[in-house]
């Protein structure tokens, strides 16, 4: 049950991201759309980080979302990821991940749970695999997923049945 008042007949998620505080929520939704439409990260790295944040946030919307399937800008890459990939996110020992995919998920986890643990050895590993531009891209994506996914979760508007169709605007984490 949403933790804010939602007008009768309105979808709680859509209300949060379009009606409750439009001066901030609409630009936030635009930022979300930019992450899905403009990130230069390869889809598997993008999804490794995104799903790790969804696991940490316990965001049902994000856990059910598949960027290659649900985000039109990424549809051409959809066949690069199967469900085993998603099931293994968080398991750095799975041999199906590339070094960059493991690092993307680890970056996301540290960002969300213990950003001060990003010590020099971690940065050496990260910078040996990613350019500065890619690190900033990854950080902006992860920051959006942490903030918007957690907002959906704490307001209790992240129901898994609300995964939008590809024609719907991208909102939330």
Question: CB-hemisphere CA count at 13 Å for 74?
Answer: 28
Assigned domain for 47 exists: yes
Predicted confidence (pLDDT) at residue 165 exceeds the cutoff of 50:
no
Residue 51's domain comprises 37-162
The model's pTM: 0.86
CATH number, residue 125: 1.20.1290.10
Assigned domain for 108 exists: yes
What pLDDT does 160 receive?
46
160 and 70 in contact (C-beta within 8 Å)? no
pLDDT class for 114, splitting at 50, 70, 90? very high
Assigned domain for 5 exists: no
Structure tokens at 33: 């759309």
Assigned domain for 28 exists: no
111 and 139 in contact (C-beta within 8 Å)? yes
Assigned domain for 80 exists: yes
Question: CB-hemisphere CA count at 13 Å for 160?
Answer: 6
Out of 37-46, 125-134, 151-160, which region has the weakest mean confidence (pLDDT)?
A: 151-160
Angle between helices 120-129 and 132-154 (to 10 degrees): 110
What pLDDT does 19 receive?
86
Assigned domain for 29 exists: no
20 and 11 in contact (C-beta within 8 Å)? no
Q: How many domains does the chain have?
A: 1
- Please state, in angstroms and as integers, the Cα–Cα distance from residue 12 to each residue in 24, 122, 137, 153, following that order: 17, 39, 29, 12
What pLDDT does 172 receive?
47
Assigned domain for 17 exists: no
pLDDT in tens, 22-80: 999 889 989 999 999 999 999 999 999 999 999 999 888 888 888 877 777 776 666 67
């Amino acid at each position: 049950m949403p933790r804010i008042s939602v007008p009768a007949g309105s979808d709680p998620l859509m209300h949060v991201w379009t009606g409750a505080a439009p001066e901030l929520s609409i630009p936030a939704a635009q930022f979300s759309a930019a992450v899905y439409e403009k990130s230069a990260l390869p889809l598997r790295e993008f999804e490794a980080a995104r799903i790790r944040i969804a696991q940490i946030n316990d965001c049902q919307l994000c856990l059910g979302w598949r960027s290659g399937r649900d985000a039109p800008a990424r549809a051409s890459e959809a066949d690069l990821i199967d469900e085993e990939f998603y099931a293994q996110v968080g398991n750095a020992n799975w041999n199906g991940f590339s070094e960059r995919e493991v690092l993307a998920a680890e970056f996301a986890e540290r960002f969300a749970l213990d950003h001060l643990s990003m010590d020099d050895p971690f940065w050496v590993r990260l910078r040996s695999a990613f350019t500065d531009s890619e690190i900033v891209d990854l950080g902006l994506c992860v920051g959006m997923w942490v903030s918007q996914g957690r907002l959906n979760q704490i307001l209790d508007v992240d129901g898994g049945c609300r995964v939008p169709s590809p024609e719907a605007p991208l909102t939330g984490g």
